[in-house]
Structure 1
Amino acid sequence: MNGLFSDHECSPIHRVHFEPTNSGQLSSAIVCAISTVADRSPRDIGPLWEAIDPEALERLLDHAAARGAMASVGLEFSVDEFDIVVTDCGEILVYGDSSDYGSDDDLEFTFDG
């Protein structure tokens, strides 16, 4: 993951790939990843827009794709009891409860480029 996020002391509990050039599927992919890990229906997952603006996330990834190798983007946010990392490489990583790692619920953003 290019070393963008090093706060997590353990491996993600779930990893999903999405097609970065089709960011329209991103919100659904995030919710499905969380529901898989939580063993709950996607309807039982907190609204994604309460944690992050899904359209802004899609625009960010579209911008990174347009920049190509000149930029590397990753974004970390929390939904329910999970930390979610989304990268421009097409990865969604799900980590367990953020309190397990001593981090707060703030949004974290990195940009190399």
Structure 2
Amino acid sequence: MTTQSVESTNQSVSVAVVEAIAAATDQSPLEVEPLYHTIDPEALNMLFHNVGSQSQARGRITFVHCGYEVTVEATGDVTVTE
């Protein structure tokens, strides 16, 4: 399992997802299948544009990309599991 926090990296959720998958698969982010093959990256960014521990937003989204289950939390945590 790999977990990355969007708040600590100060990047978009879609970039954090790709980087978390890259870390879990020991690949470069450029080698990860494009996220848009599974989910609309812009929509994902809009859903979680105010993430972080200070956010009042609640909820999460889970989807499968590159054979990994990806969960994005309103807290800004991105978790990748096999």
TM-score, L = length of structure 2? 0.81
Question: What value does the CA root-mean-square deviation take over the aligned residues?
Answer: 2.2
> Which structure has the bigger radius of gyration?
1
Per the alignment, in what secondary structure is the counterpart of residue 3 of structure 2?
A: strand
Work out the CA distance in 2 between the residues paired with 1:95 and 1:18: 17
How big is the shift at 1:63?
7.1
CA drift of 1:55 comes to: 0.8
Aligned to 2:67: 81
Structure number with the bigger relative contact order (C-alpha 8 A, sep ≥ 6) is: 2
Q: Post-superposition shift, 1:64?
A: 7.6
4+ runs deviating over 2 angstroms: 62-65
Whether the 8 Å contact between 1:64 and 1:72 is mirrored in structure 2 is: no
Q: For residue 21 of structure 2, what is the aligned residue in structure 1? A: 34
| Equivalent pair of 1:61/1:73 in contact (CA under 8 Å) | no
**Percent same amino acid at aligned positions?**
31
Give the unaligned 5+ runs of structure 1.
1-12, 97-113
The number of aligned residues is 79
One-letter amino acid matched to 2:6: F
State the TM-score, normalizing by the size of structure 1. 0.61
